[in-house]
């Protein structure tokens, strides 16, 4: 059995040690789970759904890492199912949800801007199904009743979502699930007095996708990365979860010894995160720490160093320190020439 799966199930068993029903489901998962059933397991009201969503909601980094194999399987399967949903050009979806007033204010403040989800977002093709989740709820000063109306272009293959009704325990709800880190543009937020709820109109978009992949060019040399580094890079590069990725790499930095093999990659990834957030001072600090480590370790390959030098040069360029930017770009070119020879 894969070590990641063993670690996840051990944590689940410890959490539900006095719950015979959940322990039975954990054992069933251990003996029968395959990637083809990952969506079904996610839709079940069981240990996987409860603990994974809690970890995503609270951004519990250690628990997210324990669930890494399930998260990756679920994203892969949604990508696979994505090919089966091109039955129309535009899809209109709905989601009913109770939110705090501060969360609603965040949505209001970001009208016209992009937001990304830090979870798998469940929606329905049917308005009446979405309304069932907020039926009887009252809009108060503290808690707000929200109806999301989401529009998505089915022909845009960069947006990952899938019709999962056939896997759901409640078939007929016409559930559509968006993958982790999906990006939406908030079009409008308005109060509907006749329904006593807030309506939030959003459009799924891939606008951030190319920018993220360009900023985090992590496809080179990944075969030599540890599972921890690969998982952290996956959070950022594939799903755009910068805050969670930052916490994850900071956790690794705190818990690993200064001489650990992963420290170079941790500093490099943190530098890319802070650069993307336009926190250039700390981005440069992380990059230069990685550079100091790289100069001491001759076993690292040229691609690592070249990527790092380009990162440092870009940070200097973006902070208008052009002479220093040219210096590191030139050093990168020298390495490229040596590597050719």
State the Cα torsion 300-214-270-290 to the nearest 10°: 30
Mean pLDDT for 81-108 is: 88
For the residues of 4-67, what is the DSSP string, one character each?
HHHHHHHHHHHHTTT-HHHHHHHHHHHHH--GGGHHHHHHSSSHHHHHHHHHHHHT-HHHHHHT
- pLDDT tens digits, one per residue of 27-59: 999 999 999 999 999 998 899 999 999 988 888
- % of the chain with per-residue pLDDT over 90: 55
Give the tokens for residue 303.
């691609």
- pLDDT tens digits, one per residue of 169-208: 777 889 999 998 899 999 999 999 999 999 999 999 987 6
- Residue 186 in contact with residue 113, Cβ under 8 Å? yes
What is the model's pLDDT at position 64?
86
Domains assigned to the chain: 3-81 (no CATH), 84-206 (3.90.176.10), 210-340 (1.25.40.10)
What is the model's pLDDT at position 301?
59
pTM over 0.85: no
Please name the residue that has the structure tokens 């052009």. Answer: 322
Mean pLDDT for 323-339 is: 85
- pLDDT tens digits, one per residue of 268-300: 999 999 999 999 999 999 999 999 988 776 555
- Residue 183 in contact with residue 212, Cβ under 8 Å? no
Whether the predicted pLDDT of 230 surpasses 60: yes
Whether the predicted pLDDT of 219 surpasses 60: no
Mean pLDDT for 230-238 is: 80
| DSSP element (H, E) containing 315 | helix 302-318
**146 compared with 331, residue with greater pLDDT:** 146
Mean pLDDT for 235-244 is: 79
What is the model's pLDDT at position 120?
93
Residue 197 three-state SS: strand
Which of 182, 187, 234 lies closest to 208, judged by CA? 182
- Residue 151 in contact with residue 90, Cβ under 8 Å? yes
């Amino acid at each position: 059995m894969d070590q990641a799966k063993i670690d996840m199930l051990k944590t689940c068993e410890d959490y539900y040690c006095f719950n015979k029903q959940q322990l039975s489901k954990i054992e069933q998962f251990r003996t029968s789970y395959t990637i083809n059933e990952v969506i079904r397991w996610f839709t079940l009201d069981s240990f996987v759904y409860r603990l994974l969503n809690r970890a995503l909601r609270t951004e519990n980094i250690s628990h997210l890492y324990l669930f890494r194999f399930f998260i990756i399987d679920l994203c892969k399967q949604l990508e696979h199912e994505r090919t089966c949903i091109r039955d129309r050009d535009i899809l209109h979806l709905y989601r009913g949800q109770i939110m705090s007033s501060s969360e609603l204010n965040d949505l209001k403040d970001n009208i016209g801007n992009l937001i990304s989800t830090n979870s798998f977002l469940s929606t329905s093709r049917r308005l009446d199904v979405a309304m069932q989740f907020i039926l009887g709820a009252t809009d108060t000063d503290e808690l707000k009743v929200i109806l999301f109306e989401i529009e998505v272009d089915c022909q845009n293959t960069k947006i990952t979502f899938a019709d999962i009704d056939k896997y759901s325990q409640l078939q007929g709800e016409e559930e559509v699930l968006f993958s982790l880190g999906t990006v939406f543009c908030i079009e409008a937020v308005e109060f509907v007095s006749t329904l006593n709820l807030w309506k939030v109109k959003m459009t799924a978009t891939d606008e951030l996708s190319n920018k993220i992949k360009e900023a985090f060019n992590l496809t080179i040399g990944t075969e030599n990365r540890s599972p921890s580094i690969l998982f952290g890079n996956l959070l950022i590069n594939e799903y755009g979860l910068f805050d969670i990725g930052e916490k994850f790499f900071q956790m690794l930095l705190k818990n690993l010894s200064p001489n650990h093999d992963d420290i170079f990659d941790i500093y490099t990834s943190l530098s890319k995160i802070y650069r993307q957030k336009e926190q250039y001072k700390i981005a440069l600090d992380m990059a230069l720490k990685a550079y100091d480590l790289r100069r001491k370790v001759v076993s690292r390959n040229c691609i690592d160093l070249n990527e790092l030098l380009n990162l440092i040069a870009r940070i200097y360029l973006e902070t208008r320190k052009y002479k220093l930017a040219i210096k590191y770009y030139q050093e990168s070119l020298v390495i490229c020439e040596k590597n050719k020879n």
